[in-house]
Every structure is written in C-alpha cells, then in structure tokens.
Amino acid sequence: MNANQIEALIGMLAVVALFAIMVLPALIGAAHDRRVDREIREAQDHLEEMKDQKSSSRSTVPSTATWYAEGRRSKKLVSS
C-alpha cells in the first residue's frame, strides 16, 4: 500500500465513523419510541380487559340509594 491508498482508507474510515456518530442517536431514539409505543399499547389492552371484566360483573339490581330516591320521587308526585 502506498501513501495515497492509506490516506484514502483513513478518509473512508473517518466518513464511516462520522456517519455512525450521526446515525446512532436517531437509531437509539427510534428504538426508545417503539418500546414506549409497545408499553402504551399493552396498557390500553389491559385497561380494555379490565373494563370488560367490570361491565360483565356489575349486577342489574339497583342499589339501596337508587331505590330510596325512586320511592321519594314517587311520593312527591302523589302528594302534589
């Protein structure tokens, strides 16, 4: 190898190193964004599952407070 070839090799290595330095943060950021998106998607799926479980386990019988309020409303209608 002569001096010109060594200079060309050093120049190529410098360009590759600069390219890696510039691209590496973007690749790290993209990987971080994908991980965050995956975690958000999993949390939304988990939340939907919890909503489905809550809605199916609710009873259709009104609570005591609802029953009491309904009784009071009907008495007001009768007395007026």
Q: Is residue 26 part of a domain?
A: yes
Q: Look up the domain containing 48 and give its range.
A: 1-57
Domain count, the chain: 1
Q: State pLDDT tens for residues 46-79.
A: 998 888 877 655 556 656 666 566 666 555 555 5
Q: Is residue 24 part of a domain?
A: yes
Q: Is residue 51 part of a domain?
A: yes
Mean pLDDT over each residue of the chain, to the nearest integer: 82
Q: Is residue 34 part of a domain?
A: yes
Residue 14 confidence class, pLDDT cut points 50, 70, 90: very high
Q: Is residue 28 part of a domain?
A: yes
Question: Given CA atoms 7, 11, 14, 20 in this order, what sign does their dihedral have?
Answer: negative
Q: Is residue 13 part of a domain?
A: yes
pTM summary value: 0.50
